[in-house]
C-alpha cells in the first residue's frame, strides 16, 4: 500500500540498519511502491561479536534482504571514514536512520552512547550537507515507568538504551533550531511483524509465542499476564508512519503506536485462534518486577494531526496477517 503519492523518481534514499527488522521492511516498501527511487542500505550485518549479556551486537541479516535489488553497503555508523565517503560520493534526499544498539538489556553504556547518540549527530551533519530530510527511530523506552498514556515531553528512561534515545531526541531539538531540513523522530512502541526473526531473543513475544505453539509447547507467560498491557503495533503501521514523516514541514518527535493497551494474554489467545491450537498456558514468576513496564499506551494525537498517521491494524488484524510469516519462518529456520 502506498502512503504517499509523491513521485520519487531520481530521489536517493539512505536506510541505515537496512538489514534489520524495520530497515529491511522500509527497503522493500520503496522497492515495491516506488521503484523509481534509488535506495542505498547501510548495515553492519551480524558477526560473532556479542555484548556482555550474551546477545549479538548486530542483528542485521542477509536473509532479510533476499530479493532486494538496491545498493548494499556493509559498514558501521561509528566509522568516520565511511560517513565521510557517504558525504562525498553520494547525494541523499532522505535518510531513514534505523541503525542502533537496540538491545534494552545491554550494559555497555559507552558503546550505546557512541553508537546511538554520537553517530546520529554525524548523520545529522551529513543530512544538513545533503539537504536531506531525516527520519529516525526513537523509542517508547524513553518513557520508562511513567504512567499511561505516554506523552512526548514526559520522559523518565530506566535504562541506558532509553537514555540514549532521549539524548537523540534532545539533539534533534537543537538541530531543528539551526537547520532548514525536516527532522522527525518516531518513538516506536512494541513492534511486531515479518523480518524480526533474526533479532533472536529480542524479537517480539508475538513471534516467540507463535513458535512455542507451533512446536507443540505450552505457552509460558508471567503470572498476571492479563494485567501486563503494552501498546503493540504491527510493522505495516510503523512503515506508514515513516513514509508519512518524509515530507512533513513540522519537525519534531512523535509517538508511533495504536493508542490501545493490550495484554500478553491477549497475544496468546489470538495466536491460539489463528494457529488453531489449544495448549494450556503455564504461568511463571515475573523476575522483572520493579524494572518492567506494566502498561504502555501511546498518546498519538499529535502524530495523527501533524503526520496524518492513522493506525490500521488492531492486534487481531496484525497477528492474523503475521501468522503466515510466523509459519514460514518456523518451517525455514526453526523446525
Which residues are catalytic, by number? 161, 199
Query: Coil, helix or strand for 272?
Result: helix
**Are the beta carbons of 138 and 252 closer than 8 angstroms?**
no
Task: Report cis status (omega within 30 of 0) of the bond before 149.
Answer: yes
CA dist 167 and 160 (Å) reads 10
CA dist 209 and 193 (Å) reads 13
Under DSSP, the state recorded for 3 is S
The packing angle between helices 119-130 and 160-178, to 10°, is: 30
List the one residue out of 175, 103, 170, 197 whose CA is nearest residue 141: 103
Cα-to-chain-centroid distance, residue 308: 19
Q: Could you write out the DSSP letters of every residue in 145-193?
A: TPPSSB-TT-----SHHHHHHHHHHHHHHHHHHH-SS-EEEEEE-EEE-
Amino acid at each position: 500500500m502506498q502512503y504517499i503519492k509523491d513521485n520519487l523518481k531520481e530521489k536517493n534514499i539512505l536506510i541505515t540498519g537496512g538489514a534489520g527488522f524495520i530497515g529491511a521492511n522500509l527497503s522493500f516498501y520503496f522497492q515495491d511502491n516506488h521503484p523509481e527511487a534509488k535506495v542505498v542500505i547501510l548495515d553492519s550485518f551480524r558477526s560473532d561479536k556479542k555484548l556482555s549479556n550474551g546477545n549479538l551486537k548486530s542483528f542485521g541479516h542477509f536473509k532479510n534482504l533476499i530479493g532486494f535489488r538496491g545498493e548494499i553497503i556493509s559498514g558501521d555508523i561509528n566509522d568516520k571514514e565511511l560517513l565521510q565517503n557517504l558525504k562525498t560520493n553520494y547525494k541523499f534526499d532522505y535518510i531513514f536512520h534505523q541503525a542502533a544498539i537496540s538491545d534494552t538489556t545491554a550494559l555497555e553504556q559507552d558503546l550505546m552512547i557512541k553508537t546511538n547518540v554520537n553517530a546520529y549527530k554525524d548523520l545529522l551533519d551529513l543530512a544538513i550537507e545533503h539537504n536531506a530530510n531525516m527520519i529516525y527511530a526513537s523509542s517508547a523506552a524513553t518513557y520508562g515507568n511513567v504512567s499511561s498514556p505516554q506523552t512526548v515531553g514526559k520522559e523518565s528512561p530506566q535504562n541506558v538504551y532509553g537514555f540514549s534515545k532521549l539524548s537523540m531526541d534532545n539533539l534533534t531539538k537543537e538541530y531543528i533550531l539551526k537547520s532548514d531540513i525536516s527532522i522527525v523522530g518516531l518513538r516506536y512502541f512494541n513492534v511486531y511483524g515479518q523480518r524480526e526473526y533474526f533479532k533472536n531473543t529480542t524479537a517480539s513475544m508475538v513471534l516467540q509465542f507463535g513458535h512455542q505453539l507451533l512446536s507443540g509447547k505450552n505457552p509460558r507467560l508471567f503470572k498476571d499476564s492479563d494485567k501486563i498491557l503494552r501498546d503493540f503495533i504491527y510493522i505495516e503501521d510503523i512503515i506508514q508512519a515513516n513514509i508519512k514523516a518524509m515530507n512533513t514541514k513540522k519537525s519534531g518527535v512523535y509517538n508511533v503506536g495504536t493508542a490501545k493497551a493490550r495484554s500478553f494474554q491477549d497475544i496468546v489467545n489470538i495466536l491460539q485462534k489463528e494457529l488453531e491450537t489449544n495448549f494450556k498456558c503455564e504461568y511463571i514468576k515475573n523476575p522483572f518486577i520493579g524494572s518492567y513496564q506494566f502498561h504502555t499506551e501511546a498518546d498519538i494525537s499529535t502524530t495523527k494531526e501533524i503526520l496524518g498517521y492513522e493506525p490500521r491494524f488492531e492486534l487481531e488484524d496484525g497477528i492474523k496477517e503475521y501468522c503466515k510469516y510466523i509459519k514460514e519462518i518456523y518451517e525455514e529456520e526453526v523446525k
